[in-house]
C-alpha cells in the first residue's frame, strides 16, 4: 500500500486509543490512514522515529497570538513548531470590536490551527494593562454573542479576566462576571474564567458555572486560590470538578505556584488540561513552551500517559473536537508531534521564582500539521 508519509518505529502515545507502544503511523493527504506495528506501506517520505515519542499534535488551550495588535501576543506558527502544538486557543485577546480583524489577519493566515475565545471586553486585551473592564461601558455581552454567531467555526467560547483590578470590585465585578456567564449561555458555548485576585470567592463563583466551563490559572498563588486557609481544596471546587467544570493550568507569568499545585495533586485535584498562557512576558521563562509545562507535571509525579492526555485528548474534548484532533485514530486529521525525552538534571521554575529540579524534559523535535511536516526535521537529523 502507498501513503505520503510514514512515521516508523516511534513510541505512539494516544490516550484516545489507549496506546503507549512502538508503532508506525501512515498519512495520506491530511488524514491518518493507518496505525499499527510494522505497517507494510510504501511512502513518499519516511521518518525514522525510533527513540522518539509520537503523539497527537498538542492542543494548547490558552495562548495569546493576536500579534502586532495585542502588545503581549506571540506568533502562532512559531509557537507551533517550537512546542509540537497543532491547535492553539487564543484566550480572549480579541473582543467584539476586533475579532473580525483577528480572524482576517491571523486565524485565516496561520499555518497552524488557531481558535479564539471572545473577550467580554469589546476591545479584548489591546490595553489589558489598564484593566479592560474597569470602565463598565467596555462590557459587550450582546457583541460577544453576535461575534460567536458570525465566526462560529473559529470563535468557540467566551473569556473574562476576573481579577478585581480588571473587572472592578463589589457589584461591578459581579455584574461583569454574570454578564460573561450569560454571554456563554446565550451563545451556546462555554466560559473560560481567568482567576486573579477576584472580587468574589471561588466557592461563590462555582454555582454559576456549568459543565464545560473552565477555570484557567487553576494553580495560581496569591489571595484567590483553590485552597482554603487550611490548604484544603474547597469542597465547592471538588464538587465542581466532579460535575465537569474544567480546571486548566494556564501557567502564565504569575499563575503557577508549586505549593498550590502540589497541595491540589496531593488531594486528588488534578488539572483537566495543561496549557501555557504563552505571551511575550513568559515565553523566555518561566513558561517557554508546552513540552516544558508538561515536563513540570512529570516532575510532580504524573505519568507520561496522563500528561499527554491532558495536552491532547482532554483539550480536544473541551473544544468538542475529539473526533478530529487530539487523537491518532484512523480518519482523524494528521496533526502529529514528535518528542525527544531528554534525561539529566533540569531546573523548572514556577511563576513565583521558585525553582525545583527534575530528571526528565520533553522536547519537541517535529511537528506535522494537517499531514505537512513543518521545517526543522532535517535539521534535527543532522
Interacting residue ranges for Zn ion, rule: CB under 5 A: 91, 277
Sequence-separated (6 or more) residues with CB below 8 Å from residue 222: 196, 197, 254, 257
217 DSSP assignment = S
User: Which lies closer to Zn ion via its Cβ, residue 121 or residue 374?
Assistant: 121
Least Cβ distance, residue 277 to Zn ion (angstroms)? 4
Query: Least distance from C-beta 248 to Zn ion, angstroms?
Result: 10
Q: Give dist(CA 380, CA 382) in Å, integer.
A: 5
Distance, CA of 317 to CA of 295 (rounded, Å): 22
What CA–CA distance (Å, rounded) separates 277 from 380? 27
Give min distance, CB of 334 to Zn ion, in A.
Answer: 29
Q: What letter does residue 374 receive in the DSSP assignment?
A: P
Helix (H, G, I), strand (E, B) or coil at 63: strand
Q: Which is nearer to Zn ion, 279 or 317 (CB)?
A: 279
Between 132 and 277, CB nearer to Zn ion: 277
Helical spans, DSSP H, in the chain: 76-83, 99-102, 141-150, 164-167, 170-186, 202-205, 235-243, 258-266, 290-299, 304-309, 313-318, 377-381
Using CB positions, name the residue nearest to Zn ion: 277
Beta strands (DSSP E) in the chain are 2-14, 19-28, 31-36, 42-48, 53-56, 58-63, 85-95, 113-119, 155-161, 191-194, 214-216, 246-248, 336-349, 355-369, 372-373
Q: How far is the CB of 279 from Zn ion (least distance, A)?
A: 7
Q: How far is the CB of 159 from Zn ion (least distance, A)?
A: 8
Residue 60 or 113 with smaller CB distance to Zn ion: 60
If DSSP codes are grouped into helix, strand and coil, which group holds residue 369?
A: strand
Output the smallest distance, CB 342 to Zn ion, in A.
Answer: 28
Least distance in Å: CB of 254 to Zn ion?
11
Is the CB of 255 or the CB of 306 nearer to Zn ion? 255
Which residue number, 275 or 332, has a Cβ lying nearer to Zn ion? 275
DSSP state of 213: B
Nearer to Zn ion, 91 or 313 (CB): 91
Shortest distance (Å) from residue 328 CB to Zn ion: 29
Residue 315: how many CB atoms within 10 A of its CB?
Answer: 28
Q: Which of residues 39 and 61 has its CB atom nearest to Zn ion in the complex? A: 61
Would you say 8 or 64 has its CB closer to Zn ion?
64
Instruction: Tell me the chain's radius of gyration from C-alpha atoms.
Output: 20
Residue 159: strand pairing partners = 119, 192
Q: Which among 249, 253, 252 has a CA at the least distance from the CA of 270?
A: 249
Q: How far is the CB of 64 from Zn ion (least distance, A)?
A: 6
Amino acid at each position: 500500500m502507498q501513503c505520503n508519509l510514514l512515521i516508523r518505529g516511534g513510541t505512539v502515545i494516544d490516550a484516545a486509543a489507549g496506546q503507549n507502544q512502538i508503532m508506525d503511523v501512515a498519512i495520506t493527504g491530511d488524514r491518518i490512514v493507518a496505525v499499527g506495528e510494522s505497517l507494510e506501506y510504501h511512502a513518499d517520505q519516511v521518518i525514522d522515529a525510533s527513540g522518539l515519542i509520537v503523539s497527537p499534535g498538542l492542543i494548547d488551550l490558552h495562548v495569546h497570538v493576536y500579534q502586532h495588535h495585542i502588545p503581549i501576543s506571540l506568533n502562532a506558527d512559531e509557537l507551533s513548531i517550537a512546542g509540537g502544538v497543532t491547535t492553539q486557543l487564543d484566550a480572549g485577546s480579541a473582543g467584539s470590536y476586533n475579532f473580525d480583524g483577528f480572524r482576517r489577519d491571523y486565524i485565516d493566515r496561520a499555518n497552524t490551527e488557531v481558535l479564539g475565545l471572545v473577550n467580554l471586553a469589546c476591545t479584548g486585551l489591546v490595553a489589558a494593562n489598564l484593566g479592560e473592564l474597569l470602565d463598565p461601558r467596555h462590557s459587550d455581552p450582546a457583541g460577544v454573542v453576535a461575534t460567536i454567531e458570525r465566526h462560529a467555526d473559529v470563535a468557540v467560547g467566551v473569556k473574562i479576566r476576573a481579577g478585581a483590578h480588571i473587572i472592578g470590585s463589589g457589584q461591578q465585578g459581579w455584574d461583569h462576571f454574570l454578564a460573561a456567564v450569560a454571554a456563554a449561555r446565550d451563545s451556546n458555548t462555554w466560559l473560560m474564567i481567568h482567576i486573579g485576585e477576584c472580587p468574589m470567592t471561588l466557592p461563590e463563583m462555582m454555582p454559576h458555572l456549568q459543565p464545560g466551563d473552565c477555570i484557567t490559572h487553576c494553580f495560581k498563588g496569591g489571595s484567590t486560590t483553590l485552597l482554603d486557609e487550611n490548604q484544603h481544596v474547597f469542597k465547592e471546587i471538588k464538587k465542581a470538578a466532579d460535575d465537569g467544570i474544567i480546571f486548566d493550568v494556564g501557567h502564565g507569568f504569575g499563575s503557577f505556584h508549586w505549593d498550590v499545585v502540589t497541595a491540589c495533586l496531593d488531594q486528588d485535584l488534578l488539572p483537566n488540561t495543561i496549557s501555557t498562557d504563552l505571551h511575550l512576558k513568559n515565553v523566555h521563562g518561566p513558561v517557554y513552551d508546552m513540552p516544558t509545562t508538561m515536563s513540570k507535571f512529570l516532575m510532580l509525579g504524573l505519568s507520561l500517559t496522563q500528561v499527554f492526555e491532558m495536552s491532547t485528548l482532554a483539550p480536544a474534548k473541551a473544544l468538542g473536537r475529539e473526533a478530529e484532533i487530539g487523537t491518532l485514530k484512523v480518519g482523524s486529521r494528521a496533526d502529529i508531534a514528535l518528542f525527544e525525552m531528554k534525561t539529566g538534571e533540569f531546573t523548572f521554575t514556577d511563576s513565583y521564582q521558585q525553582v525545583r529540579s527534575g530528571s526528565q524534559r520533553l522536547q519537541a523535535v517535529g511537528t506535522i500539521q494537517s499531514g505537512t511536516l513543518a521545517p526543522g526535521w532535517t535539521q534535527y537529523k543532522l
